[in-house]
A and B are shown apart, each in its own frame.
With several copies, the nearest count.
Chain A
Amino acid sequence: MSGFNKVVASYDEALAGLADGMTVMVGGFGLCGIPEGLIQKVKEMGTKDLTCISNNAGIDGFALGMWLENRQIKTMISSYVGENALFEKLFISGEMEVILTPQGTLAEKIRAGGAGIPAFYTATGYGTEVAKGKDTREFDGRNYVLEPSLTSDYSLVKAWKGDTMGNLVYRMTARNFNPMMATAGRITVAEVEEIVEPGELDPNNIHTPGIFVQRLIKGSFEKRIEQRTVRSA
């Protein structure tokens, strides 16, 4: 299907059009389920003044940690950044704006952005710093905060398999933020472990339908582990 072949041949093509000052969502939880090749490419491109929306900020020297080193991020929207010393430094020094957002609220803001919901109420964060400057309202005797949605110019997501039409499936907990970010990108680029032909993925079990995906590239993944924790036999 000519018009539905989303496969691109190079990272250049995958990220064509990405420019300084844009908003970029990056999938993953810690180092699990991150689009490694796309992150590396953005580092090489040196794109600057990015607003980056990602649950975490990588680790020193790897993943989004590379964008930090390169000073490519102007504003970071995350829920947890504890794994990254450079991050704390840039934050505390004011070199980078940081908008800490509760994890569930972050996930819902991104889902809402993809689903055409401009804002929603949540009890999360009511009465805390997160609610400062935001509208609040009582429903049924409980207080809620109005949270606006998030969208992106580019969403960089990582999937397990993708067919050429952009249908995606994720694996285990590498799913995390990727499906919502795929829906919220003006241009969504999916980096996958394997590209398959249409029909090879079970239509009943597509996690992200191809309508949300503009470009698809086969990546290769190091899959670094942050906290290798084992038990003895």
Chain B
Amino acid sequence: MALNREQIAQRVASELRDGYYVNLGIGIPTLVANYIPEDIDVMLQSENGLLGMGPFPLDDEVEPDLINAGKQTVTAITGAAYFSSAESFAMIRGAHVDLTVLGAFEVDQNGSIASWMIPGKLVKGMGGAMDLVAGTDNIVVTMTHASKSGQSKLLESCTLPLTGVNCIHKVVTDLAYLEIHDGAFHLRERAPGVSIDEIREKTAGQLIVEGEVPEMRLG
């Protein structure tokens, strides 16, 4: 069965390692914070100027001066630091963040990603996404494998305006975990109960299936 949002986040969480500095994008990526394995510690970076983001505040802890990149009220953990946007993106652009997780509209077999604009329809801006994909090699993209109408989001070539070129190597969808290299999607894991045929059918870009493809282990 296809994964739900929480399960996608759970699968991404298994990419975390003890001591990682991590930037989580808006949407499903934010949920990853709920599934950090108990035996490891990670520090969350919020690009508006916070290293060491904690959980949402209790009702009486809400602080307008303390928000995350999604403009939600948050808290800071012990050992956190605040800094300017320039310093924040020095961290990001300078490759000091160990892992970035972000959503996308489309990803293609060359690792290009489109996530910020649908011409004539949606004009919100790229925020920090272009900097994030340029800043680290270790990026996980989370998205549904196909749109509600069944159109694949894993393409031969992105059709929407790009966020970055040749920068994505890992994708977790509701159907699979795939790696991107040498101009193709490599199927590494299937969502529990999802067939290779279904994944093949919903992947428009070149898909390479080698050997036995195990089911994901969640949690």
Tell which of A206, A212, A223 touches B82, judged by Cβ atoms closer than 8 Å: A206
CA–CA, A131 and B116, complex, Å: 15
Contacts of A167 in B (CB 8 A): 79, 81
In the complex, which of the residues B47, B73, B94 contacts A114, with contact meaning CB atoms closer than 8 Å?
A: B94
Cβ-neighbour of A225 out of B64, B82, B130 (below 8 A): B64
Give per-residue flags for A199-230: 1 if the beta carbon is below 8 A from chain B beta carbons, else 0: 10001101101111000000000011111111
The residues of B that contact A212 with a CB separation of less than 8 Å are 91, 96
Shortest beta-carbon distance from B55 to chain A in Å: 6
Whether B90 lies near A183 (C-beta < 8 A) is yes
- Looking at B68, B81, B95, the one whose CB has the most chain A CB atoms below 10 A away is B81
Answer whether residue A45 sits at the interface, using C-beta atoms and an 8 A cutoff.
Answer: no
A86 to B51, CA, bound (A): 33
Given the contacts A172-B66, A175-B83, A225 and B124 also touching, CB distance less than 8 Å = no
> For the complex, what is the distance from the CA of A125 to the CA of B125, rounded to whole Å?
13
Question: What's the minimum C-beta distance from A20 to chain B, rounded to whole angstroms?
Answer: 26
Quick check: B84 and A176 within 8 Å, CB to CB? yes
Contact B128 A102 (CB under 8 A): yes
Q: Report the contact-size class of chain A (Cβ under 8 Å from the partner).
A: 35 or more
Cα A125 to Cα B54 in complex, Å, equals: 30
A30 interface residue, CB < 8 Å from B? yes
Complex formed: what's the CA distance from A117 to B20 in Å? 23
Inter-chain contact B123/A183, CB cutoff 8 Å: no
Q: Produce 1/0 per residue, B95-135, CB < 8 A to A.
A: 11100000000000000100001001001111111110011
Given known A114-B90, A116-B90, A126-B134, contact A32–B125 (CB-CB < 8 A): no
Which residues of the other chain, A, contact B89 by a CB distance below 8 angstroms?
Answer: 103-105, 107-108, 115
**Could you tell me how many residues of chain B have their Cβ less than 8 Å away from some Cβ of chain A?**
76
In contact, A79 and B79 (Cβ under 8 angstroms): no
B82 touches A172 (CB 8 A): yes
- Mark B158-192 against chain A: 1 for CB-CB distance below 8 A, else 0: 00011111100000000000000000000000000
Whether B84 contacts A178 by the Cβ 8 Å rule is yes
Please encode chain A, from 1 to 19, with 1 for each CB lying within 8 Å of some chain B CB and 0 for all others: 1111000000000000000
Given A2-B18, A122-B134, 18 additional A-B pairs, CB 8 A = A29-B67, A32-B64, A79-B126, A82-B125, A108-B89, A108-B93, A113-B94, A115-B93, A125-B164, A165-B79, A172-B66, A172-B76, A180-B84, A183-B96, A203-B79, A225-B67, A228-B73, A230-B56
Residues of B within 8 A of A (CB): 17-21, 40-43, 45-52, 55-59, 61-68, 70-74, 76, 78-97, 112, 117, 120, 123-131, 134-135, 161-166
Residues in A lying within 8 Å of B, measured CB to CB: 1-4, 29-33, 55, 78-83, 88, 91-92, 98, 100, 102-108, 110-111, 113-117, 122-130, 160, 163, 165, 167, 170-180, 183, 198-199, 203-204, 206-207, 209-212, 223-233
